[in-house]
A and B are shown apart, each in its own frame.
Chain A
Amino acid sequence: MNTADVIVIGGGIHGCSTALHCRLRGLSVVVVEKDHVARHASGVNAGGVRRLNRHPAEIPLAMASAALWQRIEDLVHDDCGYRQTGQIRVAEGEPGLAAIAARRRLVEGLGYSHEQWIGPEELFELVPAISRHCLGALWTADDGHADPTRTTRAFARQAAALGAEFLTPCRAGMPRRAGGGWQVPTDRGTFSGAQVVNCAGAWGGAVAAALGEPVPIEPIAPMMLVTARMAPFVDPVVASFDRMISFKQSPNGSVVIGGGWRSRAEPDANRAHVEFGELHRLIGTTLDLFPVMRGARIVRSWAGIEGAMPDAIPVIGPSMTAPGVIHAFGFSAHGFQLGPIGGAIVADLVESGATSLPIEPFSIARFAGQAWREAS
């Protein structure tokens, strides 16, 4: 029988980060991944490294993660394509301006100053290519973006270099109790360990359900469009308070357009389809915001499978029903920036059962029994 201190289910960024942080603390780790590292949400997201406009509960974690991003090369021996280009969220009309005002009151009330208001003049200076109908924006200057596949792989590579074992492609079955610890059946035999970490993304709900604590997770497939390479015309990642869009030009010149447009996810079949009928509005928004895009050509589209929680924040923390199991899934399409700190939090929990960061809002207990349904 194969044994390890920690068995991680899922080779996305949170699974790989967990493996790395556990190894840094001397714990033995096996990561079981059904496809290959970064196959789904961790590999096909837009790569935003963003604190701007986060859920209030996530802000402390995002701040701590930002500190790790600052020294990402020390952590994983790869710069991960990380660039602090800033992130901007514009207001295109009165509703957007009102949303900015409310957001500023909220964030400043919590004592944070990372989200700054910029008026039209400053916006047009920062993003000369943006349409002049924009009225202003919130801006986080030291947010940015990174290459998601490269980042996730860098975590995996560094964890492996420190001795973590990666089983890919290798399907994990449901964890079962064995003595004081856990067993996880896999395609390559059964692994036993003291603790199990559920980093299974969209598939994380199935693991939780098998442990007797079902959650209302929804598999989603955010769609993204990519253009042929264009001469550089925008640095920051741009979003809007008025319409669903996320807009980024990669260092190689291609433009990645997303913003949460969802298509059909088929987690059982391991696939997602892009539905172009849904995307004409996104394309209209793109052309409105960036007139230069009239010369752009779409060369590729994709939809990656991710797990979304109804309150749009992840499940992070110990299982309520299965001592020794820790959950970190359901990042609801914005877990990439949290990757570096997510693994550290899980390693804290594995090592000592506690962490200094405020993770209470993410507890799986919020979905227990009728509590969630009544609250919603």
Chain B
Amino acid sequence: MNARLEAPVFDLAIVGAGPAGMAAAVEAAARGLAAVVLDEQPAPGGQIWRNIEASGGRASLGGSYAKGAAHAAAFRAAVADYRPGTLVWHVETADHEPARLWLMQGERVGQLRARRVLIAPGATERPVPVPGWTLPGAMTVGALQTLLKGAEVVPSAPVVLAGNGPLLYLTAVQLAACGARIAAVLWTAPPGAWRGAVPHLPGFLASGTWRAGLGLMRDFRALGIRVVRDVAAIEITGDGRAEAVRYRTAGGASGEIATGLVALHEGVIPATNLARAIGCEHLWDEAQAAFRPRLGPWGQTSVEGVLIAGDGGGIAGADAAPLAGRLAVLGAAHALGRLTLPERDGLAAPLRRDLDRILRGRAFIDRLYPPRLARAALPDAVVVCRCEEVTAGAVRGAVASGAQGPNQIKAFLRCGMGPCQGRFCDPTVTRLIAEARGVPEAEVGQFRLRPPVKPVPLTAFAAAGEEVA
């Protein structure tokens, strides 16, 4: 077909304009690569620096947010071909040929080709399925932060935050600074978690990230918010919308807080959907209790020509992501013959040193904030798959009747077949199968994903067809 030949060929397609993608674009420009940056968001910054340009790094959102402004400015200055509002919903790869990227921009499908594809998809919040989590008024903490950063709106009534992790502290501080009321924090990190973290303390101290962390905790404490510690289980209740949250601590204490809004958060996990749909191999990361792609030192996946950088390759945070993005571009530039080996390694050395230092601090944080609600025994009645409304009990039933893996569960129950493509049930399904079969999650694996990675209107294709014809 003619259209296939006509699609332009780039040296490098960068998918995502968050910390990793923006830095990669800057590096690509410095190395003279013909690069295109494709990002679903309307403006650069990714999730962590969402709306950074318009908000000017609003002071109430804190220093880690303000840092993004400089990255965005450097990106704007360097990038030659930046396409915001562009969803990459499929990448076709073939050995020794440029990859073909399928796009949706506005309401039209399009395509381009690239010799290397660098995916910088970032992270998504770890799904925290609890009873009542589909009610209006149950959201993720990240969603509150998104509304705050992107739309400058805050909850109109007191909110309960449930879970643990740095982002929960940060969002509480940000919300409070913007005048929102926080009824309580239901903190789920076990009090003994620090014991497991202590051996990793030297790395954390060496990483330098402790300064920001301590400051954040001090700010949080200063708010004087009610904190219920060692929460082991919660339930969101209400008739047609959230009206209250019940909790139980590991010590057996229980209580109920009236609230119309409960925000859940137990850390973030790599956003792997596009990489998995392409066929990149993934492995189970026990320390982070999540799957991540298997990557080489330059971000190479198991699929030739496809690279990954940033949190999408394993959670390391917004300081690490730009370094990983630049390293991946250096590797690609060498592979494409634009850098000699000594040039590549010379440019990479300082980046790798900084990256290694940051990574050394990560294990401490992972141990300090382990997921708990997301790993707790799940009642049969809880909806696991929000799209198809499949319950934990149904998944267990399917395992009992012989479904040994996620793909069979999908075929049995349609679990993970809905519009979110398993983003919000995948980890839970894998865990439920692992529990039922008494095997590790690594052995169970994940859903095999099919393109498109996000829904594409039929009419968008028809437009492409007319173009081709």
Residues in B neighbouring A36, C-beta threshold 8 A: 404-405, 408
Q: Using a Cβ–Cβ cut-off of 8 Å, how many residues does chain A contribute to the interface with B? A: 37
Bound complex: CA of A170 vs CA of B402, how far in Å?
Answer: 16
A280 with B450: in contact, given A273-B92, A286-B458 (CB under 8 Å)? no
Bound complex: CA of A61 vs CA of B265, how far in Å?
Answer: 58
Interchain CB contact under 8 A, A43 and B411: yes
Interchain CB contact under 8 A, A276 and B419: no
Q: Using a Cβ–Cβ cut-off of 8 Å, how many residues does chain B contribute to the interface with A? A: 36
Residues in B neighbouring A280, C-beta threshold 8 A: 461-462, 464-465, 468
Distance to closest chain A CB from B428 (angstroms): 19
Q: What per-residue 1/0 map shows which CB atoms of B413-456 lie under 8 Å from chain A?
A: 01001110100000000000000000000000000001110011
- Residues in A193-229 with C-beta less than 8 Å from chain B: 226-229
Interchain CB contact under 8 A, B402 and A298: no
The residue in chain B whose Cβ has the minimal distance to the Cβ of A296 is B458
Question: Is B222 located at the chain interface by the 8 A CB criterion?
Answer: no
Distance to closest chain A CB from B100 (angstroms): 8
A294 with B459: in contact, given A38-B411, A301-B451 (CB under 8 Å)? yes
Question: Is B102 located at the chain interface by the 8 A CB criterion?
Answer: yes
Bound complex: CA of A164 vs CA of B79, how far in Å?
Answer: 63
Interchain CB contact under 8 A, B411 and A287: no
Interchain CB contact under 8 A, B450 and A300: yes
The residue in chain B whose Cβ has the minimal distance to the Cβ of A44 is B411
Q: What per-residue 1/0 map shows which CB atoms of B1-15 lie under 8 Å from chain A?
A: 101100000000000
Interchain CB contact under 8 A, A276 and B90: yes
Question: Is B210 located at the chain interface by the 8 A CB criterion?
Answer: no
Distance to closest chain B CB from A292 (angstroms): 10
A277 with B418: in contact, given A284-B462, A284-B465, A298-B456 (CB under 8 Å)? no
Question: Is A108 located at the chain interface by the 8 A CB criterion?
Answer: no
- Residues in A266-284 with C-beta less than 8 Å from chain B: 271, 273-281, 283-284
Interchain CB contact under 8 A, A299 and B421: yes
Interchain CB contact under 8 A, B456 and A287: no
Bound complex: CA of A296 vs CA of B461, how far in Å?
Answer: 11
Interface of chain B, helix or strand or loop or mixed? mixed
Question: Is B457 located at the chain interface by the 8 A CB criterion?
Answer: yes
Bound complex: CA of A271 vs CA of B109, how far in Å?
Answer: 25
Interchain CB contact under 8 A, A287 and B459: yes
Interchain CB contact under 8 A, B462 and A228: no
Distance to closest chain A CB from B302 (angstroms): 13
Which of A252, A276, A297 touches B458 (beta carbons < 8 Å)? A297
Interchain CB contact under 8 A, B450 and A283: no
A228 with B402: in contact, given A284-B465, A297-B457 (CB under 8 Å)? no
Distance to closest chain A CB from B456 (angstroms): 5
Residues in A neighbouring B100, C-beta threshold 8 A: 277
Interchain CB contact under 8 A, B458 and A299: no
Question: Is A4 located at the chain interface by the 8 A CB criterion?
Answer: no
A149 with B465: in contact, given A228-B418, A299-B455 (CB under 8 Å)? no
Residues in B neighbouring A298, C-beta threshold 8 A: 452, 455-458, 461
Question: Is A150 located at the chain interface by the 8 A CB criterion?
Answer: yes
A276 with B404: in contact, given A284-B465, A294-B458 (CB under 8 Å)? no
Interchain CB contact under 8 A, A276 and B451: yes
Interchain CB contact under 8 A, A300 and B421: yes
Question: Is A293 located at the chain interface by the 8 A CB criterion?
Answer: yes
Residues in B neighbouring A227, C-beta threshold 8 A: 458
Question: Is A262 located at the chain interface by the 8 A CB criterion?
Answer: no
Residues in A neighbouring B402, C-beta threshold 8 A: 153, 157
A277 with B1: in contact, given A36-B404, A298-B456 (CB under 8 Å)? yes
Binding site for B on A (CB under 8 A): 36, 38, 43, 149-150, 153, 157, 226-229, 252, 254, 271, 273-281, 283-284, 286-287, 293-302
Binding site for A on B (CB under 8 A): 1, 3-4, 90, 92, 100, 102, 109, 111, 279, 388, 401-402, 404-405, 408, 411-412, 414, 417-419, 421, 450-452, 455-459, 461-462, 464-465, 468
Q: Across the A-B interface, give the 4 residue pairs with the lowest CB-CB distance, nearest first.
A: A280-B465, A297-B455, A149-B411, A283-B461
Question: Could you list some 30 contacts between A and B, CB below 8 A?
Answer: A36-B404, A43-B411, A149-B411, A149-B412, A153-B402, A157-B402, A228-B418, A252-B388, A252-B414, A271-B279, A276-B90, A276-B92, A277-B468, A279-B461, A280-B461, A283-B465, A287-B462, A293-B458, A295-B457, A296-B458, A297-B419, A297-B455, A297-B457, A297-B458, A298-B461, A299-B417, A299-B452, A300-B452, A301-B451, A302-B450
